[in-house]
């Protein structure tokens, strides 16, 4: 990941700890971060402060997109034909329902 956010960068954003926000309906969860490559997107709602995020992954197929746990180390290690995952440093925190690539069924 060429523009990998540091732990301090992620802490400054104020991402809630895992499970701190579990009572919030998915559509109302705030999305604090965004990673992407091509048609694949990972949206971050919670973080354990180390390697594990909770969020929404859409890997280019809306039917298979889902909420779940995302390993930061796995994201950082992805390399597809020489391309690496990017961190959206300009992401604006907003509710999941305002993110067009998050599908609610």
Query: Does 70 fall in a domain?
Result: yes
**Sequence-ordered strand ranges (E) for 29-102:** 30-31, 33-37, 40-47, 52-58, 66-71, 79-80, 83-84, 86-87, 94-95
Residue 39 lies in a domain: yes
Output the six-digit token pair for 35: 């990673």
The residue range of the domain holding 69 is: 7-94
Domain count of the chain?
A: 1
Reported as a pLDDT band with limits 50, 70 and 90, residue 2 is: confident
> Mean of the per-residue pLDDT values for the chain?
95
| Residue 105 reports pLDDT greater than 90 | no
Residue 77 covered by a domain: yes
State the pLDDT at residue 79.
86
Q: Is residue 83 part of a domain?
A: yes
> Is 17 within a domain?
yes
Tell me, yes or no, whether 86 lies in a domain: yes
Give the pTM.
0.95
Residue 100 lies in a domain: no
């Amino acid at each position: 990941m060429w523009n990998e956010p540091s732990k301090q960068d992620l802490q400054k954003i104020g991402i809630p700890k895992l499970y701190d926000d579990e009572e919030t309906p998915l559509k109302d969860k705030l999305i604090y971060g965004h990673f992407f490559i091509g048609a694949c997107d990972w949206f971050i709602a919670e973080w354990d402060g180390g390697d594990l995020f909770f969020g929404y992954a859409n890997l280019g197929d809306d039917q298979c997109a889902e909420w779940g746990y995302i390993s930061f180390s796995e994201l950082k290690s992805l390399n597809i034909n020489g391309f690496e995952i990017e961190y959206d440093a300009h992401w604006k925190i907003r509710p999941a329902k305002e993110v067009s690539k998050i599908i609610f069924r």
